[in-house]
Structure 1
């Protein structure tokens, strides 16, 4: 289990390749914000996407298991004079939300759940939290990315302030990966502090997610890939799933 204690401090720098604006546009395309709909950001991390959705006209709340991530998000919102409620909560224990218009699990957050039952429990709790007609948006790593691309490590990054070396190893379950990351973050001018992170992710075939969603009771499930409206292909890397209650 990743602690995120130091990882939260470098997370934003490492996510610069994520087109958050496109995520907002995906949601806006299918869930117009004319009536200021309620939106729960599940696994909200440091709050980058939540802030953008707030600016787009959604009534946003966020949950995340990591209190360190939520501290960074809270500071971000305070600096922008935003009032976005944040709660420390694991997604598979989601409770206390009712009649939501929209729920999102962005940037492969659901891939941190190792067991099938935990994924199903999370999707069920989201279903129970949505209003009739409410929508769930989430994305996952593809089987191809998990089984092939991630195994092409080591990966490296260096922007002068943060350096990391990222090794991967095939996990115990099918379509799973251990991520081993060593970071060197500038503490004072010319001096760097080392810290290490270990993460574990697992994904499933799009057909499995689809079957689970329908079994739970969602009336429609739409699956696309790689920030497009196209259907997944063999070498698609990120799978996008939208489900309607």
Structure 2
């Protein structure tokens, strides 16, 4: 699977049309105030090109960001340097965290948790968060809901055409896993270049997520609908979890 390699340099152009990172960051920072989080050490998991890191890191004394893709981290490094932000960027699997420190806030945004296809990896991920979270810190992450993956993304095809960038996005759902095949045509000078990406996400029901959180001694403080309200419904598409360690 070839995730986010050639895609990295056009990622922001696509994602910023749909995601308001500024609004998400304000909600997360508000949650930090609500739960009396110390604004000292921040960790952004599956940080991608650093969009969330860029918004939240200025509010903390120290910041770290982790991603599995060197290409995405390269884009993040350029972005954060341009903002004058000193962030520790680390290439690491979020289901095998070994940072040897603890954090007051940990985030993992934009359905990166759904990329963990095996329950064993999901549990390892939550165990890693537990060991890296300060006793009074919070962990904020979101998932594409079971409804969204099975009823909206699954077995559907989407297209996008913006002149210099065109893509075809074909999805195939089987056994609660959606395979997403993306074909991009990007214009360079007078020619279009093609590249392909293959992504996979697993549909997790809330009771499965919450079972593994509990197994890893993480307590759910609240659930939000797409970083907005706490009124989760059967057709919520993005579910945001706010958790902390059991005391």
1:93-132 matches, cutoff 5 A: 93-132=96-135
**Kindly tell me: are residues 27 and 84 of structure 1, through their superposed partners in 2, closer, same or farther at Cα, counting changes over 3 Å?**
same
What does residue 201 of structure 1 align with? 201
What does residue 146 of structure 2 align with? 143
What does residue 14 of structure 1 align with? 14
Structure 2 CA distance for aligned equivalents of residues 94 and 40 of structure 1: 11
What does residue 218 of structure 1 align with? 218
Structure 1 CA distance for aligned equivalents of residues 77 and 120 of structure 2: 31
Q: SS where residue 92 of structure 1 aligns?
A: coil
Q: SS where residue 31 of structure 1 aligns?
A: helix
What does residue 187 of structure 1 align with? 188
Structure 1 CA distance for aligned equivalents of residues 236 and 75 of structure 2: 32
Q: Can you give the 5+ residue segments of structure 1 that lack an aligned partner in the other structure? A: none
Structure 2 CA distance for aligned equivalents of residues 237 and 35 of structure 1: 30
Report deviation, 1:221: 3.6
Q: Report how many aligned residue pairs link the two structures.
A: 242
Structure 1 CA distance for aligned equivalents of residues 222 and 39 of structure 2: 24
Deviation track 1:176-195 (CA, whole Å, cap 9, x = no partner) reads 2000000011122x211000
- TM (norm. structure 1) is 0.93
Instruction: Judge conservation of contact 1:186–1:192 (CA < 8 Å) in 2.
Output: yes
What does residue 73 of structure 1 align with? 76
- TM (norm. structure 2) is 0.92
Of residues 136-145 and 219-228 in structure 1, the stretch that sits farther from structure 2 once superposed is 219-228
